[in-house]
Structure 1
Amino acid sequence: MTTSSPLLSARGVRVSFPGRHGAPAARAVDGVDLDIRSGEIVALVGESGCGKTTLARALLGLVEPAAGRVAFDGRPLEYSGRALKAYRRRAQLVLQDPSGSLNPRHTVYDAVAEGLRIHGYGGDERAAVAGALSRAGLRPPERFFLRYPHELSGGQRQRVVIAGALVLEPELLVADEPVASLDASVRGEILALLLRLRTELGLAALVVTHDLGLAWNIADRVAVMYLGRIVETGAVEQVLTAPRHPYTRALLSVLPEAPGEPVILTGEPPDPARVPSGCRFHARCPVLAGGEADRAGVAGACRGRDPGILDGSGTAQVACHWAHAGTV
């Protein structure tokens, strides 16, 4: 992993959605700093509804932030049609469900060639499509040109989606739950493919997932998201073997191989339109509920003082008063 300037950088990104019938706006992304460097794979993990997919869409320019900025290769992202079209050649999205991503009436060739046609590619289209399919592990590529999605396995369909992203030779992939809809036997193959693409092409990737096991197998760095904020980040080995935030600990505790008893969080995540004061996790925090925060002298801070936004630099960081009290 390089220590050069970030390829993609977010600073203070906020995305809100209007409430219904005069209700407060939902703060889906509520202040996020995040860096991704060339050749780096970052896993963005958290429960459903924590804002990770909305953040990914904002990083791709699919949603314009209400505040903050996104920069790519040192330049702030612009939201004009022409600027976004140029950006999409360099940053591509791989969606969770390949069946929903592929038009059932289009052949594999047309599905992969679509991006080339949108961007007015002037080279040899057939060679570009064949090269992308081959890099995605569909060989010989010509054998797949005239097939339709329903004639492929789930893993093959996901490879076609990846080929459609690769055909434009991007520098960054944003993969939203890239193996969630696949059988366990195929998941490892797709993860190995993403790692090989990083090695061979120098691709950076943001992998959005709720699966910490996937993060362990593929990521260089992990960012844990809760209620619109990143609450812990660092090298994947550090965060997943010695987590400091109680939320990260709870997520890890329910993995099949985790030692000890699972930590069951009480209640549902708060409404993003009504984010609690203080630490946004405090209403569900087992450390606060169990009295450990009180013994560390930080219970009042947990309830009343926001631990702040992590700086996104990639160093190990945690947004937790209890962790900073020297207890972990």
Structure 2
Amino acid sequence: MSETTGKRRTSEMSETGGAGAMGGAGETGGTSESIIGARDLVVRFPAPGGRTARAVDGVHLDLAPGEILALAGESGCGKTTVARTLLGLEKPTAGQVFFQGKPLSYRGRDLKAYRREAQLVLQDPSGALNPRHTVYDAVAEGLRIHGMHRDERERVADALSRAGLRPAEKFFLAYPHELSGGQRQRVVIAGALVLDPKVIIADEPVASLDASVRGEILALLLRLRDELGLAAVVVTHDLGLAWNIADRIAVMYLGRIVEYGTVDEVLTAPRHPYTRALVSVLPDSPVGRSQVLTGEPPDATTVPGGCRFHPRCPALASGAAEEAGVADDCRSTPLPLLDPHRPGAACHLIAAGHKV
């Protein structure tokens, strides 16, 4: 679980609990300390044949100021849809997104103001930057959209400098094709920073970069957190990245968060069978022998009953769930949503007091 950059933790959360079940969604957006959150979040899309894709199927989430939360899981698990919904780019089918304890408003003016506070950093910097725009124009675009024309040149230079492009003026007239991949990603980050946001949503922020550059960008995100107090949700399928950058991790499977906890807790002592399988393939894995999951993740239009992971669960296949007397529950009894403030895993076997 090593990367080229180190990690600095904020204070570890010490809440304890069993399976971490949520007793019920509150009327407000989580704790008074949370900067962004979601309650009972559901996002559904129409699919061919009159079917409905349950992309996000009940998620509670809270992010504290200055915290980095990794949202991890396989492709298609719903993590990018959660990120887009947190940004207001998708409207929930049910549930609510909260910002600083207040429900997100989807009126045009309110949503525009919110997007100054919560900024997106995309996976592919080449696709995120207009090849016909200079670096200066790319970074200044947000200022112009929000009518923040005062001190534009100084704001752009400051954002580029914070993103590690110094001297900033050297890059003003450069075009994206003249920059390296790492420099383009820094321009994208500068375009977010120029608006002085409180939250960054980063969707696979280093997936398209060479290994030699990945550590630099991760170190930059950590430095911005420490210097500016920025909170961030980092969407990733890479648990090594989560290990190096995040304070907490939420592991998603088929539209639900199946395990919450600090990165150290989850990646050194994973509890949910799905998390254990993901961690098992990491170098120096604490799980031991690699676990290969059978089959493909189910389609979001055909979510299994009971525990949605049960068709691929090693604990059910091995007979461990049968021995514990929870096999029928695994196949038929839905699990409660997890509380983002308590480490836990949504698993019938764990709820019955057994180890996976």
Taking structure 2 as the reference length, the TM-score comes to 0.90
SS at match of 2:235: strand
> 2:340 and 2:53 mapped to 1: Cα distance?
23
User: Once the two structures are superposed, what CA deviation does each residue of 1:261-293 show, in whole Å capped at 9, x if it has no partner?
Assistant: 211101111111111110000000001000111
Matched with 1:182 is: 209
Q: Does 1:39 align with 2:71?
A: no
User: Once the two structures are superposed, what CA deviation does each residue of 1:72-130 show, in whole Å capped at 9, x if it has no partner?
Assistant: 01111011111110000000000000000000000000000000000000420000000
SS at match of 1:18: strand
User: Once the two structures are superposed, what CA deviation does each residue of 1:209-262 show, in whole Å capped at 9, x if it has no partner?
Assistant: 000000000000000000000000011100111111000000011113325321
Matched with 2:111 is: 84
Matched with 1:231 is: 258
**Any residues of structure 2 matched to 1:43-122 within 5 Å, and which?**
43-122=70-149
Cα offset for 1:4?
5.2
SS at match of 1:30: strand
Q: Where has structure 1 moved over 3 Å in runs of 4 or more? A: 1-4
Cα offset for 1:302?
0.6
Matched with 1:167 is: 194
Q: Determine if contact 2:32/2:101 at 8 Å carries over to the other structure.
A: no
> 1:311 and 1:119 mapped to 2: Cα distance?
36
> 1:226 and 1:99 mapped to 2: Cα distance?
29
> 1:43 and 1:8 mapped to 2: Cα distance?
14
Q: Does 1:198 align with 2:225?
A: yes
Matched with 1:296 is: 324
Matched with 1:130 is: 157
Cα offset for 1:308?
1.5
Structure 2 counterpart of 1:70, one-letter code: V
> 1:182 and 1:276 mapped to 2: Cα distance?
36
Structure 2 counterpart of 1:140, one-letter code: P
Name the % identity. Answer: 71
Matched with 1:20 is: 48
Matched with 2:182 is: 155
SS at match of 1:14: strand
Cα offset for 1:326?
1.8
**Any residues of structure 2 matched to 1:251-266 within 5 Å, and which?**
251-258=278-285, 260-266=288-294
Structure 2 counterpart of 1:96, one-letter code: Q
List runs of 5+ in structure 2 lacking aligned partners. 1-9, 12-30
Matched with 1:284 is: 312
Cα offset for 1:171?
0.2
Q: Does 1:242 align with 2:255?
A: no
> 2:193 and 2:339 mapped to 1: Cα distance?
31
Q: Determine if contact 2:32/2:100 at 8 Å carries over to the other structure.
A: no
Higher relative contact order (CA 8 A, sep 6+): 2
How many residues are aligned here?
326
Over the aligned positions, Cα root-mean-square deviation in angstroms equals: 1.1
